[in-house]
Amino acid sequence: MSRQLNFSPPQSFVDSSFFVKLTQLKLDVLKLDQSPRLIYGYYSYKTLGRNQTPSISLNDASFGDIKDFESGLPVNNNLISSGHITVVNTLEEFKDTNKLEYLKHAGQTLYDKIVDHSVLEDPSIFSEFSILSFADLKKYKFYYWFAFPQLNSEWEIISLENEIGTLTIDDTYNQPFGIIKSTGEIVHLKELFDYPKSEMLNVLFIDTSTQTESPSYVLKNFLTALSFYGYESVKVTVYRFNHLDSSFTVTLKNVVPITEVPRISGWERTSQGKLGPKLADLGSLIDPALLADQAIDLNLKLMKWRIAPELDLDLIKNTKCLLLGSGTLGSYIGRALLGWGVRKITFVDNGKVSFSNPVRQPLYNFEDCLNGGKWKAETAAESMKQIFPLVDAQGFNLEVPMAGHPITNESKQKNDFETLHRLIKEHDAIFLLMDSRETRWLPTIMGNVENKIVINAALGFESYLVMRHGCIDPKVDLSEQTENRLGCYFCNDVYAPSDSTTDRTLDQMCTVTRPGVALMASSLAVELLVSILQHPNRQWADHTSSESSTVLGSLPHQLRGFLHNFELLKLSAKNYKHCSACSTAVIEEFATNGWEFVKLALEDSKYIERLTGLDEVHKMSEEADLNFDVVDSEDEFV
């Protein structure tokens, strides 16, 4: 009674790095594409364990080029197999995929390569595999099912010997199959047709299984190919490198020659021996901080799938933001920047958390108010880290020198000036969020001198202003700068900033505003920054509709909102040549004299007006008033 040869079923081992790479691939490359993608796996064949089944391994390098994959393997004792992975978009689709048709397609592909003799040129094709998968990127669960297509043919065992004679294989041999010549020489499988089909064919199979007399399933596919090619009998030496005592030689006879696609099997079984997919749950293995990092990126990268595929998220992520003011606006802007994936956020303030703050400023809580209150900027930075541990958040307690406020401690104020200037140089985008007009003056100058993006947000009781400052062009000489660039926060004023904080009543010392106004202004300020970053001209972009379009839409200069009638206006204004903050006279003087210039502005409230020519504007206005004749209504048409 004839008996058939048994084969060891394949098993898969997928390193966690494979799923991390798959996550990146799904988010950044595949998106909604469900086309099969080429990948690679490997079988170790020189370091086999006892009673081992053929086990294919995959890692993060599986998605790369074949040469990169080979070079990344620890040692040269592996047989590499190619495969394809199909990543569907929903769990329901994963469940509903016709598994029989999926396996048949993989088997048909293998059969076609037997027919066109591709397998003889590349014997690794006999071990090709397919993976059907679904990646639940919100829960970090990966469902996957390996298909190892096996083409079944009928061969009966004529003889089986638990020895391989005097055959020895060189350590450099790295092919799964070979033909053994009568001289003992081993040649490549592509020479197969040099050997008559009527005679016994003597072949070598490098096994990745050490199951007793049960070679790897890959041999089954090879025998099916021999059956299709018309070979009637074959002698197979099953060679196991570090377990020669379990190597054997088997002589087989073809029972029914293959003439068409045979029966196909090959879905991997679970550890319980049942047909079914595997589940890799990485949620419990990944560092929670890294999970948060990936979760933040998830929402952003999903925008690129359908809505905004051209959105440059890396540009946003790598933008370093400086928030001058850590109150209501600073808190909400910090949170919104986190939502856009910004990783470097620095706070500046010189106040402490008071009991009125936590309900309006989400980066503080009740405990921060106790014992006189914690410093706002430092506390805001720590709160950001509690929200997202991987954010690079810092807080600086310093007072911004203000025009019109005389120097009281030059050493300290100069040190604060130098720290502020350094911070502005180190960051890409500056948010002006302070609660007084004169506090915004010096950062406006510094931002322009250093060619930074400057976003200004200011609140009224039921209104708000959000604007981007115009910026001088570093490619054009300062003396040639015109008023064609966009204006800044101070361009509408004909008076230089002065002391507005002395003798203020309680309602003037606090920002009295409807609670929702700060949220609206904060969100618009951040969205304005993101739009600027998507424009090729960045902070030098014009505001006209024909030139200011980005992947996210238009790029306005100013947004003025009014809650009493829920109105939002888009406005623009050119630079004012006598501006106290961004005129060329001010910028040139600051660039030349630095602290000495600032010191003069602090000590003399009229210095800036003389420098910019605003004093002449005032004189001309006064003269115009004196020379203005009121026309009597009765003589108007005489």
Q: Which residues are catalytic?
A: 510
CA 281 to chain centre: 21
Dmax over Cα atoms in the chain, in whole Å?
134
Amino acid identity for residue 388 in this structure? F
Amino acid identity for residue 108 in this structure? Q
Residue pair 577/520 in contact by the 8 Å Cβ criterion: no
CA 282 to chain centre: 19
Q: How far is CA 72 from CA 15, 55, 83, 103, 107, in A?
A: 14, 18, 18, 30, 29
- Report the distance separating Cα 210 and Cα 242, nearest Å: 10
Task: Locate all alpha helices (DSSP H) within 230-287, ordered by sequence.
Answer: none
64's enclosing H/E stretch is none
Token readout for 295 is: 């979760």
- Check residue 90 and report its DSSP letter: S
Residue pair 580/609 in contact by the 8 Å Cβ criterion: yes
CA angle 585, 586, 590 (to 5 degrees): 120
Amino acid identity for residue 267 in this structure? W
Residue pair 72/30 in contact by the 8 Å Cβ criterion: no
State the sign of the Cα–Cα–Cα–Cα dihedral 359, 364, 367, 373. Answer: negative
The helix-helix angle for 410-426 and 441-449 (nearest 10°) equals 40
Grouping H, G, I as helix, E, B as strand and the rest as coil, residue 613 is: coil
- Check residue 222 and report its DSSP letter: H
Q: What is the DSSP string of 326-374?
A: -SHHHHHHHHHHHHTT--EEEEEE--B--TTSTTT-TT--GGGGSTT--
Cβ partners under 8 Å of residue 488, min gap 6: 444, 448, 454, 456, 469, 470, 575, 579, 581, 582
Residue pair 609/495 in contact by the 8 Å Cβ criterion: yes
Cβ partners under 8 Å of residue 287, min gap 6: none
Amino acid identity for residue 535 in this structure? H
- Report the distance separating Cα 368 and Cα 376, nearest Å: 9
Residue pair 382/353 in contact by the 8 Å Cβ criterion: no
Cβ partners under 8 Å of residue 573, min gap 6: 486, 487, 491, 492, 557, 558
Strands 37-44 and 78-88 turn out to be: antiparallel
